[in-house]
Amino acid sequence: MSSNILPSNNKLPKKAELILGEHYYINEQGFWVFTEKYHLLRGYCCNSGCKHCPYQTKEK
Is 13 a domain residue?
A: no
Is 11 a domain residue?
A: no
pLDDT value, residue 2:
47
Is 2 a domain residue?
A: no
Is 9 a domain residue?
A: no
Q: How much of the chain, in percent, has pLDDT values that exceed 70? A: 67
Return d(Cα 24, Cα 59) in angstroms, integer: 22
Is 36 a domain residue?
A: yes
Is 33 a domain residue?
A: yes
Mean pLDDT of the chain: 82
Beta strands in the chain (DSSP E): 24-26, 32-34
Per the structure, the count of domains in the chain is 1
pLDDT digits (tens, 9 = 90+) for 32-55: 999 999 999 888 998 999 999 999
28 confidence band (pLDDT: 50, 70, 90): very high
Is 29 a domain residue?
A: yes
pTM equals 0.68
Is 6 a domain residue?
A: no
